[in-house]
Chain A
Amino acid sequence: MPQATTEQPRPPASRQLKAHNKSLIRRLGKQWDVQLMVIPGIILVFIFSYLPMYGVLTGFMDYNLFTGANIWENPWVGFKHFVAFFNAPEFERLIRNTIIISLLKFFIGFPAPIILALMLNEVRHMMFKRVIQTITYLPHFLSWVIVAGLTMAMLSTENGSVNMILQQVGAIDEPINFLSLKQYFWSILVSVNVWKEIGFASIVYLAAIASVDPHLYEAADIDGASKFKQIYLITLPSIIPVVVIFMILAIGNLLNAGFEDILLLAANPVLRPVSDVIDTYVYRVGLGTHRYSYAIAIGLFKAIISIGMLTMANYLARRSGNSLW
């Protein structure tokens, strides 16, 4: 239990100064009302966040459906499930899809809102700017179910707008069933993600741009710098600290290729060779075929690599002076 440290920041009431001398138990008794506010939260977080962490141990065991609450009744098997995963026929394809999809999302999804913010910043008509912002923020608030439904409607062979346009301009003769063809899946997945999040993600960058000193632009104007040069030489460098922080967060998330979006957009099992990622695989073998220990081991494998990546990214950022913690 902490002692003096918790009380050092400004002790205003004399009540607290006296409490300093009393025993820990008596001090706790005195602040029982505040502890009562915090304890339910601690218990809930313990149950719903920490107990599952302890459940991760079953990744090193053979989980038996009937052991119930006492996981220690399961036999230890060491790294058996990890080895099984590394040798699984799906292994290579899962790793490949996970890495490619997350890299595509990172290289396209990360800069997109920055570019949008830079463009919005150049708009001088407030009304126009507000309308664009309102419309581009909206998709963020829709569920993936809706977004997937709209995507299916847009790409459908039956009255789908994309096929209609392509046919009208003569690019294709027959409607294409986009969501059942492997070669289109990655581009669809990434575009839909950008469509959904670009507006909302741009909010933070817009705020960062708003705090840039306007004198810089005036000076640049006098020096005759073009709009493009001003964006490139003033706005962009000014928001670099914010960009770096968000980049660290994105790198920590790099192995999260996606879950809901892939589950919903790749509803057609034909797409599995290009759509299956670690998370969807864990879901399918874990909840679909009840291979709990195996699925837990894979999930743990991913979590450890993710944490490693986040730590590494933060280390790099710290060296550049913009660390997260």
Chain B
Amino acid sequence: MLKRISLSDKIVIVVIYVLLSLLAFTALYPFWNAIAVSLNVGVDTAKGGITFWPRQFTWENYEIILQDDRLITGFMISVARVIVGTVSSIFMTALLAFGMTRTYLIGRNYYMVFFIFTMYFSGGLIPTYLLNRSLGLMDTFLVFIIPSLISVWNMIIFRTFFKTLPAGLEESANIDGCSTWGVFFRIILPLSGPVIATLALLTAVGHWNDWFLPSIYITNEKLLPIQTILRQTLNANIVTGQSAVLDSASAALLQKTKQITSKSLTMAMMIVVTMPIILVYPFLQKYFVKGVLVGSLKE
């Protein structure tokens, strides 16, 4: 279609393209810079001027943090938390949501009010803390898993999705002698791939990113996930200007090489912690837009 575009329209379009490019640049640049700094010799970085590319390339920063036992343990704890936490939470929430779609379920409307209410009011930080403490969840791996087994928000999204599945499928399975649990495992779950993928990925990201929960419930160093360790490092950096995370072995290495600064180590650590997210992101992206839309509709 041939159409004359007026000058003012052209200006509007150009301004929009420039603004969007600028926005994308500011969104991406901090990572790019962090990668460049993490790949540069620490002492050299301190002189300033590292923007897009490392000036004196080195893998040293990564070598040091990948030898730090505390970080490796933290990484493993995070991975374990993501796997166990996501699988169990998605399963329990999907099961609950399936039960809640059964129209003959006695008490269904009361249950729904019971669940929805928790989305608007909660006891808050301190009562929750006291409860978890009295349940003996302090300093256990279970504190990552059990309190977040049921997500009411996810339950509603699952429920909305299950309602779109044809009712005839379930009826014919019933006629063939399938129990309610059989319907759930053999028909509903296999058909729910997209919604499970969306919610599982969002739940996994939530588990991976959480640093606050362990920071109040965990005192045993061996149970701290990577984000909490990173937070302690950043905090130490800003308060005292030196890295607190490194254990004695790494500190000795640091003394030996002298090319390292806490800043370049912190940057390398941040990239290592972000990598899993960046790696799953391409798979995540095609799902989450849909997930967000279903979630925003609610009911």
Contacts and interface: CB of A to CB of B under 8 A. Distances in A.
Question: Is chain B found bound to chain A in the same assembly?
Answer: yes
B191 to A, nearest CB: 17
Interface in A25-55: 27-28, 31, 33-35, 37-38, 40-42, 44-45, 47-55
B99 A159 contact: no
B125 A161 contact: no
Interface string B213-240: 0001000000000010011001101110
A204 B295 CA distance: 10
Interface stretch (B9-17, B60-68, B192-200): B9-17
Interface stretch (A101-109, A181-189, A291-299): A291-299
Contacts of A282: 124-126
B105 A41 contact: no
A310 interface: yes
A5 B106 contact: no
B238 A52 contact: no
A7 interface: yes
A264 interface: yes
Interface in A114-148: 116, 119-120, 122-123, 128, 131-132, 134-139, 141-146, 148
Contacts of B6: 226
Interface stretch (A90-98, A195-203, A315-323): A195-203
Given A6-B104, A260-B212, A138 B27 contact: yes
Interface in A150-167: 150-154, 156, 158-159, 161, 164
Contact of A56 (B19, B110, B127): B127
Given A44-B92, A226-B8, A227-B12, A296 B104 contact: no
Given A144-B209, A296-B126, 11 more contacts: A6-B108, A53-B127, A56-B124, A122-B16, A136-B24, A146-B230, A149-B234, A153-B30, A164-B49, A263-B212, A296-B124
A45 B29 contact: no
Where chain B touches its partner, the secondary structure class is: helix
A19 interface: yes
Interface string B112-152: 00110010111111111111001100000000001101101
B263 interface: yes
Nearest to B129: A287
B111 A159 contact: no
B152 to A, nearest CB: 7
B120 A146 contact: no
How large, as a class, is the contact surface on chain A? 35 or more
How large, as a class, is the contact surface on chain B? 35 or more
B75 interface: no
A40 B274 contact: no
Contacts of A54: 123, 127
Given A41-B150, A158-B46, A268 B238 contact: yes
Contacts of B134: 68-69
Interface in B1-45: 3, 6, 8-9, 12-13, 16-17, 19-21, 23-24, 26-31, 33-34, 37, 45
Interface of B: 3, 6, 8-9, 12-13, 16-17, 19-21, 23-24, 26-31, 33-34, 37, 45-51, 92-93, 95-96, 98-100, 102-111, 114-115, 118, 120-131, 134-135, 146-147, 149-150, 152, 155, 167, 171, 174, 179-181, 184, 205, 208-212, 216, 227, 230-231, 234-235, 237-239, 263, 266-267, 270, 273-274, 277-278, 281, 284-285, 288-289, 292-293, 296
Contacts of A207: 293
B106 A153 contact: no
A224 B209 CA distance: 50
Nearest to A70: B134
Given A146-B273, A200-B292, A227-B9, A292 B126 contact: yes
A93 B62 CA distance: 43
Nearest to A260: B212
A234 interface: no
Contacts of A203: 289, 292-293
Contacts of B123: 49, 51-56
Contacts of A45: 114-115, 118, 150, 152
Nearest to B40: A159
A110 interface: no
B13 A227 contact: yes
5 contacts: A47-B131, A50-B118, A159-B50, A226-B9, A282-B126
Nearest to A10: B103
B127 to A, nearest CB: 3
Contacts of B45: 158-159
B281 A159 contact: no
B96 A52 contact: no
A311 to B, nearest CB: 10
Contact of A41 (B95, B110, B209): B95
B105 A31 contact: yes
A312 interface: no
Given A52-B124, A152-B238, A37 B48 contact: no
A161 B114 CA distance: 50
A66 to B, nearest CB: 12
B184 A37 contact: yes
A9 interface: yes
Given A2-B108, A226-B8, A135 B28 contact: yes
